[in-house]
Structure 1
Amino acid sequence: MNVLVAGGTGFIGTNLCAELHDRGHEVTALSRDPSGVDLPAGVETAMGDVGAYDSIAGTVADHDVVVNLVALSPLFQPPSGLSHESVHLRGTENLVRAAEEGDVERFVQMSALGADPNGDTAYIRAKGVAERVLRDSDLGWVILRPSVIFGDGGEFVSFTKKLTTPYVTGLPGGGRTRFQPIWVGDLVPMLADAVDDDEHVGNTYEIGGPEVVTLTEVTKLAYEADGKSVTVLPVPMGVAKIGLSAVGPVPFVPFGPDQARSLQMDNTVVENDVTAFGRDESDLKTLPEYLGLERETESVTTKRTA
């Protein structure tokens, strides 16, 4: 099949383009600036901005499947001139419209755990409304809602270092926010299966890794991988929200009030839909394994009990 990966030059996109190419598909990576990106020979690139319909319509029409990975991070404030609504919602609307008018057969959407039009953060709300746009379309759609994703080039581990300091640090709410991180090398084959297999059309999947970790545990793992230790002191969530709200307008500070609200919400699944792709949680890579910290003694991570 001829597959267009919107956001194909990003962290997940480059991995997915390589996977789809290895499976024999004709792959094009769509990006606002695809120059200088390390993609396998044979993967084409196209320039286009999902926020500008005319810049993508012609490219989208030449493909059998569109995968939408275009995203802003929920962990940091959006760059100047962009918003979660303009990227996640308007971008999806433009891609869906172009796909419908271009006779695209399938549309695979990367959403997020907790996506909800009435959610507590702009990121969650935009992702939720974008899902509704896709479901209301005439396309054969598949939606994946992953927890946070880690791997080479990812931001999850580095995020904890931006939020903290080594040796002694404070974390909002004592770092009790729970995540179920999944390795990009485990997630990408599932995305490719959503492209390949008709059985996934019309389904929404919530995807998590093999273990649940708190923000405190992730912080300790991140610094341990650097040969450092850290003691986490709790910062009351109310104080954290005031502090992040105060620094929100400062352009070089990456956090704001929306990020404070996101740290009040767990990012875990109730039922892990990796089984729909023939995977079992026990087959997936843990964050300690990725960081080279797996031990014979009890891990600092917490097995999912939800």
Structure 2
Amino acid sequence: MEPRTLAKAATSGRTITVFGGTGFLGNRIVRHLRHREFSVRIASRHPDGGYSQSCPENPQLQSVEANIHDERSVADALVGAYGVINAVSLYRERGLETFHSVHVESAQRVAAQAHRAGVERLVHVSGIGADAASPSCYIRKRGEGEQAVRAEFADAFVVRPAVMFGPDDAFLNTILKLLRLPIYPMFGRGRTRLQPAYVEDVAEAVARIMERAETYPTVFEFGGPTPYSYEQLLRAIAHQAGLAPLLIPMPFAIWHALASASEILPRSPLTRNQVELMRIDSVPSPEMPGFAELGISPHSIEEILQRMLSNRG
């Protein structure tokens, strides 16, 4: 048997529950898992978000309603599962949906119930720079979440992507839209370091972690092939799109003031947390395993942007 055939034979019939399987990263993880012939159970509060309910024509792909804030709901979604992936994330707090409730309490709940259910493999999606001692609430809760997961499920794999991009993202598309303006105000002097990762590469990496034979717990950090300063990234995107905006440095103090005022609005376009994140480098550590260890050559942002622009043209 060929290696790929052997791998598919080993995964066939194994069920992976994906929490957040209808999200930006999660729906791609589902597709990459199905490519490997895993049975996939999409656990979401909105099970119709991108996938139809389970049906006789597609018995290997199920959608179930699940609330990660509810212990029984999480337990039900894990019945009979070989593995679980927690791809639930929150980038803006809303009412009871806080960074602590999602990234710490719910992450711990998923890990605890997975351990109780006898799940063999858990992948927890976190983020670059996750640090329980960080002054940034978002990054601090990401770090606390990793600790909470490991306390409940010692063999968990932790995945830390850099900021992710793709055709339907809120990162690259927003930058493109703003770069069409004659003047583009940068965060600070544009020196923050970024190494954006293509969302399909991250999804492929997660699927390979689920498939690989090694079971020792590992933290993976995923970034694209090129590190940029924020200004370099803006210029690379502008050049690819044939744009030439004037990039103007704007002090972070002004951004904080704008964000504070913006947060009064019902649908705030900018938060103080987002501003704080732009002060922190988002690049993988060279000491941490990443795409290379999984045999993946990451796509560049220029390559994917070229495809996006060609499709729009």
TM-score by length of 1: 0.86
Aligned to 1:287: 301
Contact 1:100/1:139, CA 8 A, preserved across alignment: no
In 2 relative to 1, CA 164–99 (structure 1 residues): closer, same or farther, beyond 3 Å? same
Distance 1:185 1:51, change over 3 A: same
Q: After TM superposition, give the deviation of residue 213 of structure 1 in Å.
A: 2.4
Partner of 2:73: 55
One-letter code aligned to 2:263: G
1:170-181 → structure 2 map (5 Å cutoff): 170-181=185-196
Question: Greater CA deviation, 228-237 or 64-73?
Answer: 228-237
Q: Per-residue displacement from partner, 1:228-267 (whole Å, max 9, x unpaired)?
A: 4311101012222222223223222222222221111010
Is the CA contact (8 Å cut-off) linking 1:164 and 1:171 kept in structure 2?
A: no
Matching residue within 103, 107, 117 for 2:122: 107
Match of 1:298 in 2: none
Partner of 1:121 in structure 2?
136
Aligned counterpart, 2:247: 232
CA contact (8 A) 1:61 1:98 kept: no
Query: Does the Cα contact within 8 Å between 1:105 and 1:139 map onto a contact in 2?
Result: no
Structure 1 unaligned segments of length 5 or more: list them.
Answer: 295-306
- Report matched runs for 1:199-214 at 5 Å: 199=214, 201-214=216-229
Q: 2:283 aligns with which of 234, 245, 268?
A: 268
Q: Is 1:18 equivalent to 2:31 in the alignment?
A: yes
For 2:116 and 2:258, locate their aligned partners in 1 and report how far apart those are by CA, in whole Å.
47
Q: 1:223-262 residue pairs with structure 2 within 5 A? A: 227-262=242-277
Per the TM alignment, residue 9 of structure 1 is displaced from its structure 2 partner at its CA by 0.8
Q: Specify the alignment match of 2:149 in structure 1.
A: 134
CA contact under 8 A between 2:64 and 2:77: conserved in structure 1? yes
Q: Which residues in structure 2 correspond to 1:135-150 (within 5 Å)?
A: 135-150=150-165
Once residues 101 and 267 of structure 1 are traced to their aligned partners in structure 2, the CA distance between those partners, rounded to angstroms, is: 34
Among the aligned pairs, what percent are the same residue?
25
**Structure 2 counterpart of 1:16, which letter?**
I
1:137-191 Cα deviation digits (max 9, x unpaired): 2453111111011112222213435777612121220332221011122222210
Alpha-carbon spacing, 1:17–1:23, altered in 2? closer, same or farther (3 Å): same
Other structure's SS at 1:58 match: helix
Determine whether 1:45 maps to 2:60.
no
CA RMSD of aligned residues (A): 2.3
Distance 2:147 2:168 in 1: 30
| Equivalent in the alignment of 2:19 | 6
The answer to whether the 8 A contact 2:112-2:153 is kept is no
- Asked if the contact 2:22/2:49 (under 8 Å) is kept, the reply is no
CA distance in 1, matches of 2:216, 2:244: 46
User: What is the rounded CA distance, in whole Å, between the counterparts of 2:218 and 2:39 in structure 1?
Assistant: 24
User: Could you tell me whether the CA contact under 8 Å between 2:205 and 2:294 is conserved in 1?
Assistant: yes
- Alpha carbons of 1:207 and 1:200: their partners in 2 closer, same or farther (altered >3 Å)? farther
SS at match of 2:152: coil
Whole-angstrom CA distance in 2 between matches of 1:112 and 1:202: 17
**Unmatched tracts of structure 2, length 5 or more:** 1-13, 309-313
Q: 1:159 to 1:52 in 2, by over 3 A?
A: farther
Q: Closer, same or farther in 2 for the Cα pair 1:88/1:156, shift >3 Å?
A: same
Name the aligned partner's letter for residue 58 of structure 1. D
Q: Indicate the SS of the match to 2:260.
A: helix
Question: In structure 1, how many angstroms separate the alpha carbons of the residues matched to 2:49 and 2:268?
Answer: 28
8 Å contact 1:107–1:140 — kept in the other structure? yes
CA contact (8 A) 2:108 2:152 kept: no
Q: Which residue of 2 aligns with 1:82?
A: 97
Q: What is the aligned counterpart of 1:191 among 186, 203, 206? A: 206
Matched, 1:156 2:171: yes
- 58-67 vs 31-40, which moves further: 31-40
Give 1:277 deviation, angstroms: 0.9
Q: Secondary structure of the residue that 1:112 maps to in structure 2?
A: coil
Instruction: Give, in whole Å, the separation in 1 of the partners of 2:303 and 2:176.
Output: 19
CA distance in 2: counterparts of 1:141 and 1:36, whole angstroms: 27
Could you tell me whether the CA contact under 8 Å between 1:166 and 1:229 is conserved in 2? Answer: no
User: How many residues were matched structurally?
Assistant: 288
